[in-house]
Amino acid sequence: MNTVTPTDFDLSFLDEGFSARDIVEQKINESSMTDDRDAFYVCDLGDVVKKHLRWARALPRVRPFYAVKCNDSRAVVMTLATLGTGFDCASKTEIQLVQSLGVDPSRIIYANPCKQVSQIKYASAHGVQMMTFDSEVELMKVARCHDNAKLVLRIATDDSKAVCRLSVKFGAPLKACRGLLERAKELGLDVIGVSFHVGSGCTDPETYTQAIADARCVFDTGAELGFNMDLLDIGGGFPGSDNTELKFEEITGVINPALDKYFPVDCGVNIIAEPGRFYVASAYTLVVNIIAKKVIMDEEFASDEEDEGTSDRTLMYYVNDGVYGSFNCILYDHAHCLPTLHKKPKPDEVMYPCSIWGPTCDGLDRIVEQCSLPDMQVGDWLVFENMGAYTVAAASTFNGFQRPDIHYVMSRPTW
């Protein structure tokens, strides 16, 4: 294994036959020889590359614009920039990050329908033209602050089948779209397309079909009003791991026919999407250490000391990352995080009902309400997989607990 340092992060190229899980084991062994035993991540950038290839196979007509908000790690953004993706940015800071890596502004969509005036001016000054809107007020702000904006009308969708719903906050209803397009025409603004987002964790892929059909209606209205609309943005929300109820290819199996029906290949419309978790969720593995433990005896079994095979107790494990850190995804992304054991349990090992708690002083800092784990000790490790989406990006340092270090790896054949 060789380590290089491209700008501000360490990247280890794995020898053939080694995996990211081997690095997890190596880092655990190294940390176990010290008193620190801090939580840490291992990020496999090779997994990000593989996801890019998977996207190209499953959605050949759709160019991905990575949603930076999902995980703004410089290493991830740099990898995707090298692969040629576009970028969905929601703020000045995200635009700065992407452009600091040499990404051309034509590869950026400012996909926030409610933007601060100063940040619209920043986008204008730095050549970022594509941006979304869903209200007349936003149109008027853009008309005052951006001379060359290429606007994308975000429409509301039925996101009732999604885990994280967005249409309650963003998106113009269909009945309002003609009026908004007419107002844009009056203001001399250029509307180049339509966007939507069916919400994250959507359990009904047919939602995409209806949203694409609705977008077609708005395109037709735009054409009537004299707009040359040539961009369709189908949003994000695609699953980032294969342990979800609805698999990625099941969703794309519905999207592709809908695109072919409403936006045929020869119609002159470019199609993009805003995947975030799809690219990064499975690339990150989080490793935490047990820093404290409580044993709660069940009174019903408390006097039966001879029956060691009975779950006569509940165990509370406290670890060195929590909902104010990496596990903020539990609060904000409705994630359900379950650990795997670092040490494989014995076949006859007793499993106990357990809860897992973060390190802060807040009683709400609970990671897992109930699961089954063996009787472990302070200093033992727990591993959480699929931890790349909406984790590191929103982690805080509440109570003075620092964000975990990230160790980046990539196999040579992948690169």
What's the residue count for the chain? 415
Distance between CA atoms of residues 228 and 72, nearest Å: 34
Per mean pLDDT, which of 198-212, 268-282, 334-348, 392-406 is the most reliable? Answer: 268-282
* Poorest-pLDDT segment among 142-156, 302-316, 385-399: 302-316
Helix axes 92-99, 117-125, angle to 10 degrees: 20
What local confidence, expressed as pLDDT, does residue 309 receive? 46
Q: Identify the band that residue 301 occupies on the pLDDT scale cut at 50, 70 and 90.
A: very low
DSSP 246-312: S-HHHHHHHHHHHHHHHS-GGG--EEEE--SHHHHGGGEEEEEEEEEEEEEE-TTTTT-TT-TTS--
DSSP 101-159: TT--GGGEEE--SS--HHHHHHHHHTT--EEEE-SHHHHHHHHHH-SS-EEEEEB----
Cα–Cα distances in angstroms (integers) from residue 30 to residues 18, 290, 293, 383, 406, in the given order: 17, 16, 23, 16, 15
- The superfamily (CATH) of domain 72-275 is Alanine racemase (3.20.20.10)
What local confidence, expressed as pLDDT, does residue 168 receive? 65
Q: Mean pLDDT, to the nearest integer, of 336-340?
A: 92
Residue 374 has pLDDT above 70, yes or no: yes
Residue 3 has pLDDT above 50, yes or no: no
**Over the chain, what is the mean pLDDT?**
91
The verdict on whether 43 is a catalytic residue reads: no
Q: Mean pLDDT, to the nearest integer, of 276-292?
A: 97
What local confidence, expressed as pLDDT, does residue 303 receive? 47
pLDDT in tens, 80-118: 999 999 999 999 999 999 999 999 999 999 999 999 999
Residue 359 has pLDDT above 80, yes or no: yes
Query: According to the CATH classification, is domain 2-13+21-43+283-411 in 2.40.37.10?
Result: yes
- Does residue 199 or residue 141 have the better pLDDT? 141
Q: How many C-beta atoms surround the C-beta of residue 174 within 10 A?
A: 15
Q: Mean pLDDT, to the nearest integer, of 289-314?
A: 71
- Does residue 311 or residue 385 have the better pLDDT? 385
Domain ranges of the chain: 2-13+21-43+283-411, 72-275
- The closest alpha carbon to 373, from 285, 300, 293, 304, belongs to 293
Cα–Cα distances in angstroms (integers) from residue 363 to residues 145, 160, 315, 357, in the given order: 46, 31, 16, 9
| Cα Rg of the chain, angstroms | 24
Helix axes 174-186, 136-145, angle to 10 degrees: 30
Distance between CA atoms of residues 412 and 415, nearest Å: 5
